[in-house]
Amino acid sequence: MRLTVNGKTHEVDVEGDMPLLWVLRDELGITGPKYGCGVAACGACTVHIDGVAVRSCQVPAADVDGEITTIEGLGTPGALHAIQAAWIEHQVAQCGYCQSGQIMQAADLLTNVPDPTDADIDDAMSGNLCRCGTYPRIRTAIKSAAAKINGA
Amino acid sequence: MSRIGKIARRSFLIGSAAIAGGVAFGIYKIRTPYPNPLEDGLAEGTASFNPWVLIDRERVTLITPHADKGQGVMSSQAALIAEELDIEFGQFDVSFGEPDKAYWNTAMADEAVPFMSTDESFVAESMRSAMGGVLKLLGMQGTGGSTTIPDSFDKLRRAGAVARETLKLAASQQSGVPVNQLKTANGAVQLPDGSELKYTELAATAAGIEPVTDVELRAPDQWRLIGKPMQRLDIVAKSTGTMDYGIDLRIEGMVHATVKMNPRQGGALRSYDASEAKDMRGVWKIFPITNGVAVIADNTWRAIQAAEAITFDWGSAPYPAEQDAHWETISKSFSEENLDSRWRDDGDVEQALAKGEVVSAEYRAPYVAHAPLEPLNVTILVTDDAVEIWSGHQLPRMLQQIVASVTGHEAEQVKFHNQFIGGSFGHRLEFEHLKQAAEIATQMRGTPVKLTYSREEDFAHDFPRHIGMARGTGAVVDGKVEAIDLQVAMPSVISSQMGRAGLSIPGPDSQIAAGSWNNPYNLPNYRMRAYRVPELAPVSSWRSVGASANGFFFDSFLDELIQAAGADPMEERIRLMGHDTSRRVLEAVAEMSSWGGELAANKGRGVSFVESFGTPVAEVVEITNTDDGIRIDKVWVAADVGQIVDPVNFENLVQGGVVFGLGHAMNCEITYSDGMAEQANFWDAEGMRMYQCPEIFVRGLENGDKVRGIGEPPVPPAAPALAAAIFDATGQRLREMPFNKFVDFV
For the cut 50, the answer to whether the pLDDT of residue B467 exceeds it is yes
Determine the residue among A14, A56, A91 to mutate to test chain B binding: the one whose Cβ has the most chain B Cβ atoms within 10 Å. Answer: A91
pLDDT of B14 over the 80 cut: no
* Closest residue in chain A to residue B281, using alpha carbons only: A15
Helix, strand, or coil here: B516?
coil
Q: Which top CATH class is A74-151? A: mainly alpha
- What average pLDDT does this structure show over B511-525? 96
Considering only the beta carbons, identify the residue of A71, A87, A135 that sits closest to B659: A135
- Which of B115 and B233 is assigned the larger pLDDT? B233
Instruction: Assess whether pLDDT exceeds 70 at residue B23.
Output: no
Query: Could you tell me if B528 and B401 lie in one domain?
Result: no
Residue B473 belongs to some domain of the structure: yes
Question: Over 70: is that where the pLDDT of B451 sits?
Answer: yes
Mean of the per-residue pLDDT values of chain B? 93
CA distance B618 to chain A (A): 18
Chain A residues within an 8 Å CB radius of B691: 122-123, 126
Helix axes B569-576, B546-565, angle to 10 degrees: 110
In this chain, the answer to whether the domains covering A2-71 and A74-151 adopt an identical fold is no
Residues B598 and B532 in one domain: yes
Q: Which residues pair with B416 in a beta bridge?
A: B389
Mark yes or no for CB contact B299/A133 under 8 Å: no
Answer yes or no: are the C-beta atoms of B681 and B455 closer than 8 Å.
Answer: yes
Domain boundary among B217, B240, B263: B240
Structural domain count of chain B: 3
CB A87 within 8 A of CB A103: yes
The crossing angle, in degrees rounded to 10, of helices B122-138 and B3-10 is 30
pLDDT value of position B746: 95
Do B101 and B189 fall within a single domain? Answer: yes
Residues of chain A found within 8 Å of residue B304, distances taken between Cβ atoms? 38
Number of H helices, E strands in chain B: 21, 27
Claim to verify: residue B229 and residue B299 sit in the same structural domain? no
Tens-place pLDDT, residues B378-388? 999 999 999 99
Residue range of the domain that includes B696: 323-368+463-741
- Per-residue b/e over B238-250, b at no fewer than 16 CB within 10 Å? bbbbbbebbbbbe
Q: Which of B225, B240, B255 is the last residue of a domain?
A: B240
Per-residue pLDDT at B30: 58
Q: How confident is the model at residue B396 (pLDDT cuts 50, 70, 90)?
A: very high
Closest CB to B372 among A126, A131, A133: A131
Q: Do A95 and B244 touch (CB under 8 A)?
A: no
Cβ neighbours of A10 (radius 10 Å):
16
CB contact under 8 A, B373 and A125: no
Q: What is the pTM of this model?
A: 0.95
Chain-chain contact of A36 with B373 (C-beta, under 8 angstroms): yes
Q: Which of residues 682-721 of B touch A (CB under 8 A)?
A: 682-683, 686-691, 693, 695-696
Q: Both B443 and B579 in a single domain? A: no
ipTM score of the complex?
0.98
User: Looking at beta carbons, which residues of chain A come within 8 Å of B634?
Assistant: none
**What is the predicted pLDDT for the residue at B13?**
36
Contact B652 A84 (CB under 8 A): no
> Rounded mean pLDDT of B314-318?
98
Q: Which of A38, A84, A134 sits opposite B652 (nearest CB)?
A: A134
Specify whether B289 is located in the same domain as B153.
Answer: no
Q: Given this model, what pLDDT does residue B41 score?
A: 82
Contacts of A92 in chain B (CB under 8 A): 239, 652
Task: Determine the pLDDT at residue B311.
Answer: 98
pLDDT at B28 over 70: no
pLDDT confidence of residue B7: 35
Q: What's the average model confidence in pLDDT over B151-157?
A: 96
- Mean pLDDT of all residues in B611-638: 98
Please report, for the domain that includes residue B47, its CATH number. 3.30.365.10
- The residue among B421, B452, B483 that closes a domain is B452
Point out the residues of chain A with pLDDT beneath 70: 152
Please judge whether B232 and A91 are an interchain contact, meaning their C-beta atoms are less than 8 angstroms apart. Answer: yes
DSSP bridge pairs for B259:
B294
Give a yes or no: residue B132 inside a domain. Answer: no
Q: Are residues B518 and B399 in the same domain?
A: no
pLDDT band for position B25 (50/70/90)?
Answer: very low
Count of A–B CB contacts within 8 Å?
Answer: 188
Percent of chain B with pLDDT over 70: 96
* DSSP-derived 3-state class of residue B443: helix
- Domain A2-71 falls under CATH 3.40.50.1000: no
Interface probe, candidates B301, B374, B631, chain A, greatest A C-beta count within 10 A:
B301
Q: What percent of chain B clears pLDDT 90, i.e. is strictly above it?
A: 88
Query: Same domain for B192 and B329?
Result: no
B96 within domain boundaries: yes
Residue-wise pLDDT for B534-582, tens only, equals 999 999 999 999 999 999 999 999 999 999 999 999 999 999 999 999 9
CA distance B100 to chain A (A): 25
| B173 and B98 co-located in one domain | yes
Cβ distance B71 to A99 less than 8 Å, yes or no, reads no
E-assigned strand segments in B252-385? 255-261, 269-273, 283-289, 292-297, 311-314, 339-346, 357-365, 377-383
In angstroms, the separation between the Cα of residue A5 and the nearest Cα of chain B is: 15
> Per-residue pLDDT averaged across B10-36, rounded?
48
B335 and B386 share one domain: no
Domain residue spans of chain A: 2-71, 74-151
Residues 6+ apart with CB under 8 A from B193: none
The answer to whether A101 and A45 are in contact (CB under 8 A) is yes
Residue B76 lies in a domain: yes
CB contact under 8 A, A25 and B245: no
Do B215 and B332 sit in the same domain of this protein?
no
What is the three-class DSSP state of B661? Answer: helix
